[in-house]
Amino acid sequence: MPLKFKKPPINELVIGTYFNPPLFEFRAEHVGLFWARIRKEYPKITQQLPVGAIIDAPGDIFPLPRFWIVSQNDSMLMQIQKNAFLFNWRKREEEYPHYDSVKSEFDRFYLEFSDFIRDEVKIPIVSIEVLELTYVNLITECEYWKAPADTRNVFPSFQFVEMGIDDSAPTDFTHTVIYQIDDQLSIQMKIQIVHPAKQPTHSNLRFEFRATGRLGGAAKSDADKWFDRAHEAIGHCFRVATNPDVQNKYWQPMEQT
C-alpha cells in the first residue's frame, strides 16, 4: 500500500492524457460549450500556449490554444487542447487531498469531457497515446534544508561533482536522471534549485518525479491501470530516495488501515 504523509512536501500533482489522433474537429466554440457545463465548479478560464507541437487542423483559421479551466479556489486546474486533457492539483491554502481524491476528480471530469466529445464534436472514441503522472515537491528554507549544500540531508545518496575549488559551495544546480522501467513506463527524477519570483535572492529545493508511458491507442480502462502502476512506482522511488529521518520527523507518515 502506498505510504501517505500528514505533511508531505508536495506542491503540485499532474495527471495527464495525450491523444492520437488529435481531436481535429474540436474547435474554440466547443470549448465554450464544454465550459458552460462545468462553470459553476470551475468559473475561471484562460488561454495558454499549447503543450508540444502546434496542431493545424482543417477549417481552423488560427491554431487552437491550450485552455486552463480553474476551480474557484485555484487549487484544481483542467488543461485541454486538441491532443490532451490534463488535471492538476496545486498547493494553495488547503491541505493536499492525496492522490486518490485528485484521481477521482480527474476521472469525473475526463468522463464529462469524453462524453462531450462524443455527443457534441461527434468523435465516438478518444484514443490515448501517452500518459503522464507528475509529482512536484518544494522545500523552502527550513530546519533540515537551507542551501544547496544541504541537499544530502534530503537525498542521502546525492553528491556534487568535486571541482577542487577551495572555500566555495555550490549555489545553483539542476540534476536529472531517467529510469526506464519497461517499454510502457519510465520515471524522470529532477532535483533543482529554484528562486521565488517575489524573493529572487532566496533558494528553494524543487524535486519532481515524472512518470510517462506510451500505450498506443489505449482506452480509459487501460490508462487507469497504468496510473495505478505509475503511482506505486513513484511512491517507491520517493520512499527510497529521500531520507527516512526527514520522512518520519518532518513529513510524518500516516498509519495505513
Asked whether residue 257 is assigned to any structural domain, the reply reads no
pTM of the model: 0.94
Task: Supply the pLDDT for residue 26.
Answer: 94
- Give the separation between CA 5 and CA 251, rounded to whole angstroms: 6
pLDDT in tens, 39-77: 999 999 999 998 887 787 777 778 899 999 999 999 999
- Do residue 112 and residue 142 come from a single domain? no
Contact 175, 190 (CB under 8 A): yes
Alpha helices in 43-98 (DSSP H): none
pLDDT in tens, 174-200: 999 999 999 999 999 999 999 988 888
Task: Supply the pLDDT for residue 23.
Answer: 94
Contact 153, 145 (CB under 8 A): yes
- Do residue 241 and residue 138 come from a single domain? yes
Task: Supply the pLDDT for residue 58.
Answer: 73
Q: Which of 48-57, 71-80, 101-110, 118-127 shows the lowest mean pLDDT across its residues?
A: 48-57
235 contacts: CB under 8 Å, gap ≥ 6: 2, 3
| Tally of domains within the chain | 2
Output the CA–CA distances (angstroms, integers) from residue 35 to 38, 71, 130, in the order listed.
5, 12, 24
Task: Supply the pLDDT for residue 1.
Answer: 54
- Do residue 34 and residue 103 come from a single domain? yes
- Do residue 134 and residue 247 come from a single domain? yes
Residue with cell 491523444: 19
Domain that holds residue 181: 1-8+130-159+170-251
Contact 130, 83 (CB under 8 A): no
- Do residue 50 and residue 1 come from a single domain? no
- Do residue 92 and residue 55 come from a single domain? yes
Of the three residues 105, 126, 147, the one that is the final residue of a domain is 126
As given in the structure block, the three cell numbers for residue 149 are 549544500
